[in-house]
Amino acid sequence: MNGASVLRFENVCVKFGDAIALDGVSFEMQAGETRIVYGVAGSGKTTLLKVALGLVCPDSGRVFVFGEEVTHLDENGWFKIRAKMGILFQEGGLFDSMTIAENVAYPLVNRQTTQQRAAQNGHVEERVREALRFVELEGTLDKFPSELSGGMRRRVGIARAIVTEPPLLLYDSPTAGLDPITANTIVHLILKERDLRHATSITVTHRFQDGHLLANFRYNPSNGRIELVGHDPGDHVTTKFFVMHEGRLVFEGTQSELSASRDPYVHKFAR
Amino acid sequence: MHPHVSIVNVGGIDLLDILKPSVQTFQDFIIMSGRAVRNIFRSPHYTDDILLQMDIIGVGSLPIVLFIGLFSGLVMGLQLSRTLATYGAQAQMGQLVSAVLVRELGPVLVSLLVAGRNASGIASIGSMKVTEQIDAMRALGTDPIQKLVTPRLIATAVTLPLLTILADFVGLLGGYLIAKYRFDLQFSLYWTSAWQVLEYNDVVQGLVKPFAFAIIIALVGCFYGMRTSGGTEGVGRSTTKAVVVSSIWIFVVTFFIGEIFVNLS
């Protein structure tokens, strides 16, 4: 699947009243790539993800997902596209009234047709357990989100995002408001998911450490450890950085290009 | 280049700019309402959610509705008894209590009560909005209007007329207790006059009103809940706004429905 266009923005603008959230944003992502989006609060990072997911409609410009133009797609059309996307919301976005198991099973149960549901009946529970095992929270199946800590809720959010094994994953500030140890655990999980399934992903963050980890480390499935990326061809990680400022995409490039940037705003994210 | 010339400009203030947010809000309300109504006839139908909402709105409101119904009948009977005694028209007690309760007081009182109780439902939708659960719903392939608004609309539209019928009956019972206690009015005299005064027009009016109010309460509540922003403080603001706006519309709409039925009779 490498090389196929997964997400393309063409001069996308979004306004909320008089406030400009996205201002002429253009980029393209190929399958298997990892993008890290840096920017201060209010720079348009979350809006960018919401446009990609069809939760916010652009005022102008064009958006393509999996090669299909989605700019003016209605909600029903979006449901089919979103079935191929996983999202972790900043607040986790877990349903308070459902148990953790029901939350994680939701995309599996909700997106299936009746026939698929009948065929997969026994597999849903298995997939839910597998996804929760991945985030090391298998023991929380019958708990409610309110019984978990912020970091645990975020991990359940990751389990829900990956349970359908979508080809495109969007992480909205996965480490915001977490202590450094929990934040590292979350990034390790994102890394592990990326390197096990090679899914395309966008991670929005304002933490330099998150981008550093995703660009320079990889998950080694043979020993289950996170290791520094070496120089072997198999170690190649296709990570690019975006920096957003006041709704504009002010930087797009590799980590070395980010480090070499002389723009004072961009340079803030290079340390 | 010509300067921007507004159609309605008073003292340098563009009136269209002032009206724009209200018109926009009303337009959004109409769009949401249209989708909620359209979803009644579209799959998937969330029957469990409809039944849950009927339980919360209908069964949950029952004790307070019966209590308020009984006391409104008692109070009305008490106040009317003095006036009726002046004219020696105590036998008319059943007629008066019945006409006022069924046509107006029953539907309005029950609807105001349910609008107030509905605040918890608005807060629940509001908190789902601020914690991104509604976005998550959309992202995971569920239409939030289908899942949250339509079940509440159906549940309120079904239960509110039923609650009103019960409140009317209990209110009449309250009126009878006063009639019996104050005038020693015969059971059959009270109930026969209460029943006979009601025309087809009154009964229809007494059921159309709670049905219309139910639509207002459910849609206005869900609309403000779904528009919540600004964290937990925003949830409080939405709840207050929804209850106030619903209550105002209940009074406005009861006047117009009353006007239609008065002209029909």
Q: Is the pLDDT at B259 greater than 80, yes or no? A: yes
pLDDT score for B1: 46
pLDDT score for A1: 43
Cβ <8 Å between B138 and A55: yes
User: Higher pLDDT residue, B119 or B211?
Assistant: B211
What is the average pLDDT across B176-187? 88
Q: Chain-centre distance of CA B163, in angstroms? A: 11
- For residue B126, which of A82, B111, B118, A75 has the smallest C-alpha distance? B118
pLDDT score for A232: 58
B137 to chain A, minimum CA–CA distance in Å?
A: 9
Q: State the DSSP H helix or E strand holding residue A19, giving kind and residue range, or none if neither.
A: strand A19-30
pLDDT digits (tens, 9 = 90+) for A258-268: 888 888 888 88
- For residue B68, which of B119, B24, B111 has the smallest C-alpha distance? B111
Q: Is the pLDDT at A53 greater than 70, yes or no? A: yes
Q: Chain-centre distance of CA B4, in angstroms? A: 44
Q: Is the pLDDT at B184 greater than 50, yes or no? A: yes
Can you tell me the distance from the alpha carbon of A148 to that of A92, in angstroms, rounded to the nearest whole number?
A: 11
Beta-strand pair A239-245/A34-39: parallel
User: Higher pLDDT residue, B8 or B80?
Assistant: B80
Please indicate if any CB of chain A lies within 8 Å of the CB of B138: yes
**In degrees to the nearest 10, what's the CA dihedral of A100, A102, A103, A108?**
140
Can you tell me the distance from the alpha carbon of A110 to that of A200, in angstroms, rounded to the nearest whole number?
A: 23
Q: Chain-centre distance of CA A177, in angstroms? A: 17
Cβ <8 Å between B136 and A93: yes
- Are residues A173 and A141 in contact, defined by beta-carbon separation less than 8 angstroms? no
Q: State the DSSP H helix or E strand holding residue A132, giving kind and residue range, or none if neither.
A: helix A123-134
Continuous H helices in B101-199: 106-117, 119-130, 133-139, 144, 150-183, 187-196
Chain A residue with minimum CA distance to B133? A93
CA angle B166, B185, B69 (to 5 degrees): 20
In angstroms, what CA-CA distances link B45 with A52, A192, A209? 28, 39, 46
| Omega prior to A167 cis, within 30 of 0 | no
Please indicate if any CB of chain B lies within 8 Å of the CB of A16: no
Mean of per-residue pLDDT scores for chain B: 89
Residues of B in contact with A75 (CB under 8 A): 138, 143
- For residue B56, which of B128, B138, B145, B123 has the smallest C-alpha distance? B123
Label residue A182 by pLDDT band (50, 70, 90). confident
User: A221: which 2 tokens?
Assistant: 């499935």
- Are residues A200 and A168 in contact, defined by beta-carbon separation less than 8 angstroms? yes
Portions of chain A given CATH number 3.40.50.300: 1-84+166-271
Sheet holding A239-245, edge to edge: A85-88, A168-172, A200-204, A34-39, A239-245, A248-253
pLDDT score for B6: 57
Nearest to B140 among A50, A92, A107 (CB): A107
Q: Is the pLDDT at B3 greater than 70, yes or no? A: no
Instruction: Transcribe A210-246 into DSSP letters.
Output: HHHHHHHEEEETTTTEEEE--SSGGG---EEEEEEET
pLDDT digits (tens, 9 = 90+) for A68-126: 999 988 888 888 899 889 999 987 889 998 999 999 999 888 765 555 555 566 688 88
CA angle B112, B110, B158 (to 5 degrees): 110
pLDDT digits (tens, 9 = 90+) for B34-53: 999 999 998 888 999 999 99
- For residue A241, which of A223, A221, A266, A263 has the smallest C-alpha distance? A266
Mean of per-residue pLDDT scores for chain A: 86
Chain A residue with minimum CA distance to B44? A110
What is the average pLDDT across A50-59? 93
The 3-state DSSP class for residue A40 equals coil
pLDDT score for A234: 52
Residues of B in contact with A83 (CB under 8 A): 141
Burial class (CB in 10 A: 0-12, 13-18, 19+), A2: exposed
ipTM of the complex: 0.85
pTM, two decimal places: 0.85
- Let me know if domain A1-84+166-271 sits in CATH 3.40.50.300: yes
User: Higher pLDDT residue, B248 or A208?
Assistant: B248
Could you tell me how many residues make up chain B?
Answer: 265
Q: Chain-centre distance of CA B181, in angstroms? A: 33
- For residue A128, which of A154, A92, A102, A93 has the smallest C-alpha distance? A102
User: Higher pLDDT residue, A23 or B3?
Assistant: A23
pLDDT digits (tens, 9 = 90+) for B138-172: 999 889 999 999 999 999 999 999 999 999 999 99
- A243 Cβ partners below 8 Å, 6+ apart? A37, A38, A39, A249, A250, A251, A252, A258, A265, A266, A269
- Are residues A25 and A61 in contact, defined by beta-carbon separation less than 8 angstroms? yes
Can you tell me the distance from the alpha carbon of A109 to that of A116, in angstroms, rounded to the nearest whole number?
A: 9
pLDDT score for A112: 56
Residues of B in contact with A93 (CB under 8 A): 131-133, 135-136, 139
